[in-house]
Amino acid sequence: MYHKIVTVIFIFLLTLSSLSILSVGDAQEEEIKIEWNRPIHFLGPQKTLVLMVEFSDVRIRASIQKVEEIVNIVNRFIKSSSYGKTWLDYYIYPKVITLPKNMAYYGGPSPGAQRGDDNARSLEFKYLAIKFFKEKSGKDITEFKHIIIVHAGGDEATSGSPNDIWSHCMMSKPLYLLGEMYGLDTIYEMLKRQGPEYQMIADILMHKKPDGGWHLIAGVETVAEEDVPSVMMHEFTHSMWIYDHYVYSKDGYSAGSEVGVWTNMDSGPFLDPPVDIDGWSKYLLGWIEAVEVKEDGEYIIHTLDKPDEPHGIIIPINEEEYYFIHARRPVGQDAALPSPGVLLFKINKYRSRNVEGEPYMVSLLDANLGTPPECKTLDKRYIRLCETLDAPYYDYNHYRGQWSGLGRLGSYAINLLTEEVTTEEGYYIKVTEFDGSKGIAKVYISLEGEPAEETEEDTEPDKEVTIITRTLTGTYTETIYTTVTTHGTVTKSIIVTVTVAPPPRIESFTDYLSIIIILAAVIIVFVMIIFRKKAPLPPPPPQYPPW
């Protein structure tokens, strides 16, 4: 077991410059099964230490006021994204820390590499900055949960200079998870025995509290004074133990997008304003609630820009995977998003990165594959980023937009005609309603697959038909038939009624027949009276005798 823990720590060392877990990571995840993406909440004030660092040849130009301005922007972003549940409680060390060597020493690549920072010298950079603070400030570093180092000069990720320092975050999440399994004392001793680089890991992230217990710094992020605030936002999200959502190549560098502009953990930081943290990451941080699907039915969620709950839906697949559904609209921190709609993520709890050729940690299901057509004109590195502009599921007509971030794309037109999907596991998911004005989405989910089409059936099909004759004296409403349809556990009864009025009377000859007969009879009698012959008078009665 000892060598397995060392393997995990070695993998961790390889990732210090925001590189991926390389192929050896597969063996690590097989030997020690770690749920890298279980919810670990970051709530309340995040005690944050901010250090300003320069080099023997590159002096910092940003003032403490400028640094504070950027930190405040990040604080507002985190506070808004968490609905006021999390914020930065920061302290900016007022003295600039000057490291003894030039910037190229700390930012240059390893021997034989063309880019990136050498791991050992990158560790030395952080170690010296923290060591200086501990020795000179008189403050207890265990008061802080996060450390932000703002250094002089540029960021290799944007400048392209191999001697600049690549902005990144060194997080203690692997040590925390291993510490749960084996104890932090054991982890610390193992790090010490592995040599000076591992010892620096311990000295950077693990600190003794006054009571003798261990205190872990959640993350040490490094950003350049020339970076835009959204870079610090992205790296601080790492410091809260959220991993990148884009794709890494086998050499550890970015190979392209996966979730695209829909999160600040992929391409979202490049939009203006920078895009919010995605719903799945907010769920891991304890900022939103998600409903787990246990039976078929319609579920209601709110868009991320609102504080109303729930915000997410979880559909379990197996022990390792699940689907996560959340809704977005171009409002607030999401104002730069290309469209409203419902996003569908597929999550692997036991992966910590998206690496080419391996199962992904997070996959975005694109509702409109292969669109917009303008994407095909782009460099292959940007095709996936472009195609996910219309990833949401939503029964909508179309929208148009412009985005300079995709170079030649410029403007685009997208049809959003897909509102449903049947996953490879057979789950049927359909957006039945999306109210963009209210920020409410209704999603029907069937774990048994797409339901059969509704058919109208008599509730009593074998019932004998009875004919009833009615005399209509006015309007009336009558139930013609009732039909029952079932979607999973939801049953709907449809009652069909009709309102009837007596039809207008149509006159005919038969309506006057009796009158004609009576008149004819009267006429006949009258004629008979006039024209009949007089009858002879009867003879007089006999004379009675006088007696």
Q: For the chain, give every domain's residue range.
A: 1-241, 243-455
Name the percent of the chain in helix, strand, coil, to the closest 5.
30, 25, 45
Contacting residues for 190 by C-beta, under 8 A, at least 6 apart: 2, 5, 6, 9, 198
Please tell me whether residue 22 adopts helix, strand or coil conformation: coil
**What phi, psi does 504 have (nearest 5°)?**
-60, 145
Phi-psi region of 373 (alpha: psi -120 to 50; beta: other; left: phi over 0): alpha
Q: CA torsion sign, 224 to 230 to 234 to 236?
A: positive
User: Which amino acid is it at 468?
Assistant: I
Q: What is the pLDDT of residues 43-92, one digit of tens each?
A: 999 999 999 999 999 999 999 999 999 999 999 999 999 999 999 999 99
Q: What is the mean pLDDT of residues 359-382?
A: 83
pLDDT digits (tens, 9 = 90+) for 71-85: 999 999 999 999 999
Alpha-carbon torsion angle 451, 453, 459, 461, nearest 10: -120
Is the model's pLDDT at 487 over the cut of 80?
A: no
Whether 225 contacts 62, CB under 8 Å: yes
Report CA-CA distances (Å) from 4 to 78, 183, 355: 36, 15, 22
Q: Give residues with Cβ within 8 angstroms of 383, minimum separation 6.
A: 375, 376
Residue 44 corresponds to which tokens in the numbers above?
A: 């309340």
Does 314 score more than 70 pLDDT? yes
**106 pLDDT more than 90:** yes
pLDDT tops 50 at residue 497: no
Higher pLDDT pick, 530 / 476: 530
The pLDDT, as a whole number, for residue 518 is: 61
As a whole number of angstroms, the distance between CA 545 and CA 230 comes to 154
516's enclosing H/E stretch is helix 513-531
b/e for 173-209, b at 16 or more Cβ within 10 A?
Answer: bbbbbbbeeeebeebbebbeebeebbbbbbbbbbbee
pLDDT of residue 113: 86
- pLDDT exceeds cutoff 90 at 376: no
Q: Hey, which bits of 233-361 come out as E strands?
A: 247-248, 254-256, 290-292, 297-302, 312-316, 321-328, 341-348, 354-355
Return the minimum-mean-pLDDT range out of 376-380, 419-423, 435-439: 376-380
What average pLDDT does the structure give for the chain? 80
Q: Which of 187-191, 275-279, 355-359, 507-511 has the lowest mean pLDDT?
A: 507-511
More confident residue, 131 or 374: 131
Query: Looking at residues 459-471, what average pLDDT do you find?
Result: 37
Total residues belonging to the chain: 547
pLDDT in tens, 204-253: 999 999 999 999 999 999 999 999 999 999 999 999 999 999 999 887 77
The long-range contacts involving 185-192, CB below 8 angstroms and separated by at least 24 positions, are 185/214, 186/5, 187/5, 187/9, 188/214, 190/2, 190/5, 190/6, 190/9, 191/9
**Fold of the domain built from segment(s) 1-241:** Collagenase (Catalytic Domain) (3.40.390)
CA distance 113 to 121: 14
Of the chain, the end-to-end C-alpha distance in Å amounts to 168
Predicted TM-score of the model (pTM): 0.78
Instruction: Give the mean pLDDT of 163-172.
Output: 95
Query: Which pLDDT score is estimated for 321?
Result: 97
Q: What is the pLDDT of residue 425?
A: 95
- Confidence band for 368, pLDDT divided at 50, 70 and 90: confident
Spatial separation of the C-alpha atoms in residues 329 and 114, rounded to whole Å: 41
% the chain with pLDDT above 70: 72
